[in-house]
Structure 1
Amino acid sequence: VLQAWSAEREQRLQLGAQRSALTEATSVLLSAPSNSSRFRSAQEAARVELDDLRLRQGQALFSDMLIVRPDGTILAATRTAWEGQPSSFLSNASFPISELRSQPVYDDSLLAPGALTFISFTPLHPGGSAAAAVLVGVNSDLRLAALFEEMQIFWEQRGVYRVERGRTFALLAPDILIQLDRYGTTPDATSGVRHPIFTQMDVASSGTMEYVNDSGDLVLAGFEWIPDWGMGIVAELPQEDIFAEINSLAPFSLALIGGTTVVTLILVALVANQLLRPLGSLSHAAERLAGGDWSSRVDAGREDELGALAYNFNIMAEELSTLYRSLESRVDERTRQIRTASEVARAIISTPSLEDLMQRAVDLLQQQFSYDHVSIFLLDEEGSSAILRAATGELGDALRAQGYSIPLSPTNIIGWVASNNQPRLISEVKPSDVTTRSDLMTTTRSELAVPLQIASRVLGAIDVQSFAPDAFRPQDIEMLQTLADQLSAAIQNARLAQRSANTADRARLVSRVTAELSAPMELHEVMERAARALQRGLGSPEVMIKVGQTETGVRLDEDKPNQA
């Protein structure tokens, strides 16, 4: 209240210091001799402006107003008796003439001898120069009495009567107490007071405190210090007033508390019964769900939070049941894939012939996994193209009979897989791929290829096709790659076995030829026997042996066995 009161008056002073009539009169007062008619005219004009500033809309904001020199001499005032006299406060060397502020002053010899007054001031700048005078507003007597009455927060107006409880007063450091008596018209200032609140001035800027006041009453007081003013505002209230109404209500309060307690216990019992029953059924349903009973559900017919909880529980149970069935389906499908892959692997490994092995592999893959088309490509000896060695369907038989091959180019899936030794999946086959590759069926929509490799050396690739878009999943890639690794080992073993058989046949042929040529014979007879042995061993229809650069030699023709 006090700070808002002073801020309102400071704002009034700041606006008044900008009035041109006031600044012009002040300029004359500062420059003209005090006994000149020019000085007196300026003084009169200044009084008019000061009196107008003192009032706002008929309400007096200040008791008096002054224009003061920096040395404290009063140049003009609404109270003419003060003009030409110095004020002890205003003539103080520490008086701040260059700022807008308010300050409580006690026992000023001119303005308020033996009493409290509030002074608000702001610098005046006549002619736009630096501050050469001060505009001062003074509040004392009735103005301060109205302020202190407004600060009495415990006083109540009841009709024409005023109930006064407690009091609000001011403390001015170091030992002055200012208060408004209950029937006083001006604040009463008393010096030399040792009030307990003074001990808190350097401890806390605000707080509460219990003490015995000068009337001998135990009071509870709240205080707040205004450091810039060296003033504290204290509001105190006797504790007997605080607890009087509470004590009068004690019997009724005890009866009310007792009745409330009984009613509360009854309501708690009823509500607990209503709450615990559905919670119990919810708990039992959760236990059945945890035990594997996925059909467990609860009644969700209530229109409250428990009904919402039951509804959400049923949704959760349904989602868990769906998830469990989905997981079971996936596990079954995965188990079937692993079992089928194992059967396919055993079947292809048990086939000794390389060509039969690869054809059996593509047939089993198509039958067991319902692929629409399966083919196997092996790299040629130069490693520049992949040759179709086995495929399903009539298209596969026709292409294999033609010796169909694909160049190892990154633009086609077979070439990319063989070059990078990595699987590749095409979820949506482009129409242009179908027209450029003869091994793609016209209705193929998705394609998967995995490499055939041994110790990082690529042998070829397995290619599977589907008429449905996005038909292959990560599990298919993993499963097909496992089969490809096993098939690669089987292909490598078949090749090694075939090479070993060829080597053994050549060794037997050499041994047979050597045995037939071990007896003494003529050159012509030696060459004839050697040619016949080679014809039988190599299975060639025609064998010719030529010795040196001469025409001597022997030629056997299958159609003319007796010609030599």
Structure 2
Amino acid sequence: MEQTMSELTSSKTPEEEAVRQAAAVVQVVTLIAVLFTALAVYLTIQTGGAWQAYQFIILAAQVIVASLVSVNLIRSGRPRLGAWIVFISNLIAPVWAALLISKLGYVALAYILVTVYFTILYVMPNEAKRTTMLLAIFGLVITLLTELINPAWRLVSPLMLIASPILTTLLGIIFFMVILRQAWSGNIRTRLVTSFLIFVIVPLVFSGLISSLLIRQAAQTDTYNHLSSSATLKEDSVNAWVSSMSETLKLVFHTYEETDIVHALLELENEGSNTQSGETDHGAVFADTTNDLLTILSKTVVFDEIFILDQNGQVVVSTDETQVGKLFANQSFFQEGLKGEYVQPPQYSQSLGEVIVYASKPLLDEHGHAGGVVAGRANLDLLNEIMLADIGIGNTGETYLVRSNNALLTASRFEGYTAGDTYIRTEGVNTAIQEKSTGTTSYVGYRGTPVLGAYRWLPDLELALVAEVDQTEALQTAVTSTFTSLGVAVIAALLAIGAAFFVTQTIATPLGKLANAAERITAGELDIVVQIERQDEIGVLAETFNSMTTQLRETLEGLEQRVTDRTRALETSTEVSRRLSTILDQRQLVREVVDQVQTAFNYYHAHIYLFDEQKENLMMVGGTGDAGQAMLAQGHTIPKGRGLVGRAADTNLPVLVPDVTQAEGWLPNPLLPDTKAEVAIPISLGSNVLGVLDVQDDEVGELNEGDVELLQSIANQVAIAIQNARAYQGTQQQVAREALITHINQQIQSTTDIEDALKIAVRELGRALGTQTSVKLKKTDSGNGQKIVQKPE
């Protein structure tokens, strides 16, 4: 690259220098094409030989061939033909590639921008530059429309999600380095073009990158929060499923029936009877029991089989006749079932040929002694339904359970991944199983696609619960925003090139005439007249040659000011777009939070309290329903430390009351007569408590630790949002004060007379304070020539 740049600036005859510059540019373009060929080959391997990837290789290869042919033509004295060959090949190839590969469009835009700039500036003859510029604009528009429409035939590859921003940035860096080098070398025409582009593109690119990074981070954080919440809800559902099995077993027998069965089991064991024959005196008891179990099984979907084992672990009664007589003495569900209620973690059953889950409890006699075990084989279809239920994250979001041996327990929502036959060893699953931990991270999913995931370890069942969504879908908004920013930057750069060439043409041509005139004057032609009939600064420059430097500087300053104004407008637009995704108004924030919390989780009531300035009282600043509006209108407050809300604010700890009638210090509210349970969550940043999120329900016991964990997560986000809103409000007030001071200073500095300065100062202060003010100056002669200024009371 350094050698190429040396060739661009070497000292040769004009014709030889033009040939060297054109050849050097084509060599740079060839190097870029080689890099894209390598990308095409890797993409072909990564996609398993997709036809779009093969065409991408052909396009990149033809650019290399065309560039090599072009170099030979330029060096052999046919630069025009060589210039058109390299231009057309480098315009068609990226446009066609963008039609084939998804997410390649913005890379193609940057590629066209770089190659077109170099080709037009150094290779194309002057008479062809306008035509090539129009063709380049047409190609850029087609490429941009392709990326926005995204045709169905385009190849989608995770590789391009990573490669596209990197390649676009790399091309941007190359472009920036070259034009920066050109800003310090060459003639005035080149300096004008490169300076114009630097002032337009650099701020635009940096602001776009920063905005894209912030949007991506926010999207990733939101996705992790959603996945964690979904995993929490799924865990609660699994626990409810486990509880339902235990409750169903409790309801199998009445107390007296259970005692009769225990007696029958004990007598049967003492007599040494054959439990499979059914010909003993206890056969009637077991037959009735079998019928009862069949009736219960028909009314519940929790179990596929319910059976009774004696003290030796042998099945004596079962809803599945084929299981009677089987021995389960070594199974943990039997051994633990003699001691109390137990749910055995999933295990593979050789006899049944499937993964099973057993729930068990002891059969007790009237003295509380275990005479046997009643057990149930769980219906895992219910577990599949729980995991397959939509988690509300697009088309690729899913939750599933994995056993401790990495085998998939529940069905996948994607075809080709069968429970029991599929083993998942992703980073999220391995971390959950090996470290028995909970967390969120990004990794490659079991389908080979990058995902964002939240994982949890369920110790009772020895299972890993995972919630995942493809990164492509989760971060689609951020990716779209990034590519949109890049597209805007490319279009702006193209417009800047056109504007730069136009402005340069109108300035550099007359300046060239003036430079030629200056050389001729230096040579002694003092009578030369510069024929430039213009009414602008250059016209004045032609008439007053001695002010040439001053006039040129003013022209350049005018250009720089226009560039700065445009850049500032683009930055402001970007900042406004970013703030649209964040609520910066505290009232709106509070209203949105309470409404969303109440609506999303169907709570009876939700409201938010914030501390006053003295940190002594909590003021209700937002609540749901008519009750919330009434309390807000009344200015409802709670002293710190009083009631559940005051206690949460004082201790900076959540306060959960499942039954308010049993809570000491609970403060009833006549506007909320149906409150039966309440939880108060501190809204805090570390040890700094800002307020309290209070949620109430109209059923006893409906609020639990799961609600506390969920609401605490929301409260933490609310605390950050409130801090941001307050910081934003404070910043706005400070800016307003500084603007007012600046405005008054400017008004005062605009005059040189003390009387006018005093009048302006008093007038502006009066406007700022909203009062009528005036000043009168009285001139008196004190005998020493001094002026005495008096201000009326």
State whether TM-score is above 0.5. no
Q: Would you tell me which structure has more strand in proportion to its own residues? A: 1
Q: Would you tell me which structure has more helix in proportion to its own residues? A: 2
TM range (shorter): 0.3 to 0.5
TM-score by length of 1: 0.41
Q: Which has the higher contact order (CA 8 A, sep 6+)?
A: 2
TM-score by length of 2: 0.30
